[in-house]
Structure 1
């Protein structure tokens, strides 16, 4: 039995759809390359994925050349079919050529500014390019100097604000230090008054008792150490 007819429709599964796209895209690019080599044909293939990613193949040196050739062929075919040129199509094609020439000129100027492809330029063109670069360099330096002046001004303002903040903090520290010194002075004042209240006692020399020459009895009488325990010795025996 032969294979039945395959109904082509959108693959609902996202993963399967991506896998199928990758496989068939590579196969299609391969077939386009084989066709261009085997048949010596000019082939251009453009593919956009669902995410907007571009895949292209051109057998010629540039895709733009192939598209330009396609535009010329389409315009000529339309003119030969209708017998008269379509004004709208002709206008669009002329606008396309102008835009393309402008893009090429901008790309060439960009390459020259970057220092590329300068060998093709003549002396006058090189001199003009040099003047253009000098003018651009002056503008860049002027804008850079203006930005630097703005930055310096901002830094000076920040420095001024920091100096004022430092002064305020210094004044606050001095105020707190004076307050602490005042509190310490008030706390030391009662101690001085207490010392003045309690006056020192004066020593009385008349009440001095020699420990070596006297002894105190249990009744509190002071007797000479030379006295005997039995009685008091007379003065002539001392």
Structure 2
């Protein structure tokens, strides 16, 4: 049964191949070629008209149709351009929002790091500069005013002045 089907298909294809090689079919190919060639030429002519070339051969009605076609095309182009710009603006706004959120997170992280750094610097400073009353052999004294004259008294003021801020070191008369 399969052999019969194969022979049938082979004979059908052979018959079709013979009909395609007949002169009538070749004439159809020639007609098809001529139609396609005329269509291509019409498209080239239309393209030249749309580009503004060879408009002298057009009648007033054809020029009006061409103008209407150009207006319609221009409206479509502007509409598409407008849509692309809106899409672009929306995308850019989304990116701006994302960057602002990222910036806010980085600012918070920076503030956190600055706080940690300040605490570490304070601890280091306190470790390097213990309070005067904790230093062995020193006695907290309040030195107000200055002594004039004796070198020992001035030395005492200098030692005491390390505990006072600089603006309190000067005597109002001196």
Determine the structure 1 residue equivalent to 2:139: 199
Structure 2 residue 38 is matched with structure 1 residue 101: yes
Determine the structure 1 residue equivalent to 2:48: 111
- 2:95 aligned residue (158, 161, 182): 158
Question: Aligned equivalents of 2:63 and 2:140: distance in 1?
Answer: 110
Question: Aligned equivalents of 1:188 and 1:120: distance in 2?
Answer: 94
Q: Deviations over 1:124-171 (max 9, x none)?
A: 100000000011111111111111111111111111111111111111
TM-score (norm 1): 0.46
1:114 positional shift: 0.5
Unaligned runs of 5+ in 2: 1-21, 142-149, 151-174
Please identify runs of 4+ aligned residues in structure 1 that moved more than 6 A.
none
Determine the structure 2 residue equivalent to 1:82: none
DSSP 3-state at the match of 2:57? coil
TM-score (norm 2): 0.61
DSSP 3-state at the match of 2:122? helix
1:185 positional shift: 2.6
Question: Aligned equivalents of 2:121 and 2:29: distance in 1?
Answer: 96
1:200 positional shift: 5.3
Determine the structure 2 residue equivalent to 1:81: none
Question: Aligned equivalents of 1:128 and 1:170: distance in 2?
Answer: 62
CA RMSD of aligned residues (A): 2.3
1:89 positional shift: 2.1
Bigger helix share:
2
Aligned pairs, how many? 118
CA distance 1:90–1:175, change in 2 (3 Å): same
- Structure with more relative contact order (C-alpha pairs < 8 Å, separation 6 or more): 2
Determine the structure 1 residue equivalent to 2:164: none
Unaligned runs of 5+ in 1: 1-84, 202-209, 211-238
